[in-house]
Amino acid sequence: MSGPSRFSQHYWLTNGMARCVGINLSHEIRAGRLAHTDLQDTVARCALCPNAGQCAQWMGHQCDVAPDPPKYCEIRDDLRRLTH
């Protein structure tokens, strides 16, 4: 997969991972805590991650807000900066 479809897939993985740890990326952008360019960089890092399949499985098992993304998540530090 390449181009816009790959970016779209990883945008949704990034958004889903953020929601699992209690972050609404749209609200973060509107509040000025996250720049559009920073979100693009985060999605690009997600796209380089070899564990995207594991992330989707991990998200599927979350019933409540998780304290942190899994340790193998390439965007873990980005998301932790928004929660701490």
Domain with 77 in it:
3-83
CA distance 78 to 24: 13
Cα 9 to chain centroid, rounded:
11
Count: domains in the chain: 1
Query: Which backbone phi and psi does 13 adopt, to 5 degrees?
Result: -65, -40
- Three-class DSSP labels, 1-65: CCHHHHHHHHHHHHHHHHHHCCCCHHHHHHCCCCCHHHHHHHHHHHHHCCCHHHHHHHHHCCCCC
pLDDT at 43: 96
In this prediction, the residues of the chain whose per-residue pLDDT falls under 70 are 1-4, 84
pTM: 0.88
